[in-house]
């Protein structure tokens, strides 16, 4: 009976915690006065083995960290790229009932109708832009990521094209490449109208190359979300976009996909010294 009682108490406590989190979020939205502070984790850097021609910030997925991706990126045959792999802040995440983990922004569900954590997206996009802001002027700059990191990379692309963050502050970085693996596009419903209202936005969108890759067997971020994101970007005025699908691929990456990324980055950034083993 004591064990059953303990289980009931824990379940009840977790339920209360989840409801408390949801109520606090609603209160913050209603009042419009919530200003969160975000403490980003450790940043891992992979130095170029050859001539430094490009710098790419690579963003991990939900619950991960920069270290895991830096180890993979270091093995890629791209000697002229410097990789910067930051770690997202640890924050309560609605999809986990408010349980804290590393996340670039808060998310309750992955869908076009889900509430958007614009404050979190802006904070992460600004952090990425700040990491790129100290690179030499002759270095091409890009952003890539996996899953939630890919969503943040695509959001950063829209900030670059529009010239400002969602909060209206100026976006300061000129991007040359965006890579999204197993991700989705936040704010997709309003993007086309926003770009069409800006001549500079139309010009920037036309010149920014994007690579989106998605597994057809993805059971975390469904393939349809990646496909719809590609369609939304294309219709919004991104003609230099490639969407690659992989039969049987789940929510992870495979050598076939990373080989595609290497070839695409080499071609679009004009990199030298690429050799695919």
pLDDT digits (tens, 9 = 90+) for 163-184: 999 999 999 999 999 999 999 9
- Residue 187 has a pLDDT of 87
* pLDDT of amino acid 221: 96
Cβ contact 61:149 at 8 Å: yes
Q: How far, in Å, are 39, 93, 276 from residue 261 at the CA level?
A: 30, 30, 11
Q: Are 273 and 80 contacting, i.e. CB atoms less than 8 angstroms apart?
A: yes
pLDDT of res. 22? 42
Distance, CA of 189 to CA of 229 (rounded, Å): 10
CA distance 123 to 148: 14
Nearest by Cα to 130 from 120, 139, 122, 138: 122
Which run of H or E residues covers position 245? Answer: strand 241-246
Q: What is the pTM of this model?
A: 0.86
Angle separating helix axes 148-162 and 188-196, nearest 10 degrees: 20
Query: Which positions are annotated as active-site residues?
Result: 147, 218, 251
At residue 33, the pLDDT reads 41
Cβ atoms within 10 A of the Cβ of 268, count?
A: 21
**CA–CA separation, 94 and 68 (whole Å):** 24
Position 276 scores a pLDDT of 54
Residue located via tokens 């000129």: 174
Q: How far is CA 265 from CA 144, 177, 211, 270, in A?
A: 11, 8, 9, 8
Question: Strands across the sheet with 54-59, in order?
Answer: 44-46, 81-85, 54-59, 140-146, 177-181, 210-215, 241-246
- pLDDT score at 192: 85
| Ramachandran region, residue 200 (left: φ > 0; alpha: ψ -120 to 50; beta: rest) | alpha
Is residue 76 within 8 A of residue 49, CB to CB? The reply is no
Strands 177-181 and 140-146: parallel
Mean pLDDT by 10 residues, the chain (277 residues): 35 38 40 68 97 98 97 96 98 94 94 85 98 97 98 97 96 98 92 89 95 97 96 95 98 97 97 65
């Amino acid at each position: 009976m004591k064990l059953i009682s303990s289980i009931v108490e824990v379940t009840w406590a977790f339920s209360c915690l989840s409801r408390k989190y949801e109520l606090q979020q609603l209160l913050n939205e209603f009042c419009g006065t919530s200003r969160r502070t975000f403490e980003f984790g450790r940043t891992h850097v992979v130095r170029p083995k050859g001539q430094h021609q490009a710098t790419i910030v690579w963003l991990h997925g939900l619950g991960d960290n920069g270290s895991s991706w830096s180890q993979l990126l270091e093995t890629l045959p791209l000697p002229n790229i410097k990789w910067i792999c930051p770690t997202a802040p640890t924050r309560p995440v609605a999809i986990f009932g408010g349980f804290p983990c590393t996340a670039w922004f808060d998310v309750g569900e992955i869908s076009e109708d889900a509430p958007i954590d614009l404050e979190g997206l802006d904070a992460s996009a600004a952090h990425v832009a700040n990491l790129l802001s100290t690179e030499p002027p002759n270095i091409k700059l890009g952003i890539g990521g996996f899953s939630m990191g890919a969503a943040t990379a695509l959001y950063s692309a829209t900030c670059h094209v529009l010239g400002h963050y969602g909060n209206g502050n100026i976006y300061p970085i000129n991007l040359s490449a965006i890579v999204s693996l197993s991700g989705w596009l936040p704010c997709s419903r309003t993007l086309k109208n926003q770009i069409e209202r800006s001549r500079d936005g139309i010009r920037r969108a036309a010149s920014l190359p994007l690579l989106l890759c998605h597994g057809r067997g993805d059971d975390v971020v469904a393939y349809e979300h990646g496909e719809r994101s590609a369609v939304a970007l294309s219709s919004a005025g991104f003609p230099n976009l490639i969407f690659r699908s992989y039969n049987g691929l789940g929510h992870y990456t495979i050598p076939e996909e990373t080989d595609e990324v290497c070839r695409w980055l080499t071609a679009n950034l004009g990199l030298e010294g690429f050799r695919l083993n």
